[in-house]
Every structure is written in structure tokens, then in C-alpha cells.
């Protein structure tokens, strides 16, 4: 039986990657310049890793499996963009090694909105 979307989102939040959890520490509870982010926020048929609904910004973290699923990722990004979201992507390794640069890029993305 398929889980309902609310249960699926809850499950995804409960099993976040180490990188997602680390980035979430910086973005949660309006810690990031007062912007409110949500984890595993549903947008249509997709779940955004991190989403600032107010500013229509989605932050997507990609692990190694995304190198093989470029078409699926492109379709997801096209859908989210059509819904009015700016989607920015980072590799997990960037979060691990370049957190300051990742946070700077997220902040810069708000200027593009």
C-alpha cells in the first residue's frame, strides 16, 4: 500500500542524509537571515529537500546516485521551475567540504528572486 504524502514527507524527514541534516542546522528556525525553510516539503508530486516557500527557493542536495538519473532530475527541476520555484543544487560533497560557499550561494540565490 502506498503511503499518503504526509506520511511520506515525515518518513523522508526522519531518514535525512548526513549532509541534509548538517545544512538544516544552518537553515532551520529562521536562522538563515530570517528566512523560513522547510524540509521535505511537497510541491506537486515531488518533495523538495529544503524549501523556502515564501521566496520560492528550493535547495536540492545530490548524492552519487544522481549522476545516473540526470533525466529524472531534469524533469523534476522543469516541473518545479514551472511552479515558480528557483531550484539550486549542490553535491553532498560540497556540503561536507564547502559549507560556507554553499550558504553563500543560497544567500546569493535570494537576490535572483
**pLDDT tens across 16-31, in order?**
788 999 999 999 989 8
**What pLDDT sits at residue 29?**
87
In Å, how far from its chain's centre is CA 101? 16
- CB atoms under 10 Å from CB of 21, counted, come to 13
At residue 33, the 3 state secondary structure works out as: coil
The pLDDT confidence band at residue 65, using thresholds 50, 70 and 90, is low
Contacts of 38 (CB under 8 A, 6+ apart): 48, 50, 51, 52, 53
Angle at 109 between CA 27 and CA 12, to 5 degrees: 40
Backbone CA torsion sign across 71, 80, 49, 90: positive
Q: Locate the domains of the chain by residue range.
A: 1-16+33-86
- Name the least confident of 29-33, 34-38, 92-96: 29-33
Cell digits for 81? 521551475
d(CA 8, CA 108): 31
Query: What is the pTM assigned to this prediction?
Result: 0.81
Amino acid at each position: 500500500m502506498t503511503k499518503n504524502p504526509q506520511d511520506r514527507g515525515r518518513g523522508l524527514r526522519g531518514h535525512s542524509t548526513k549532509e541534509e541534516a548538517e545544512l538544516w542546522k544552518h537553515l532551520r528556525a529562521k536562522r538563515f537571515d530570517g528566512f523560513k525553510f522547510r524540509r521535505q516539503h511537497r510541491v506537486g508530486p515531488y518533495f523538495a529537500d529544503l524549501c523556502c516557500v515564501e521566496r520560492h527557493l528550493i535547495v536540492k542536495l545530490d548524492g552519487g546516485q544522481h549522476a545516473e538519473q540526470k533525466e529524472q532530475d531534469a524533469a523534476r527541476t522543469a516541473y518545479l521551475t514551472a511552479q515558480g520555484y528557483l531550484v539550486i543544487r549542490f553535491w553532498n560533497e560540497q556540503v561536507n567540504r564547502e559549507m560556507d560557499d554553499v550558504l553563500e550561494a543560497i544567500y546569493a540565490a535570494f537576490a535572483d528572486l
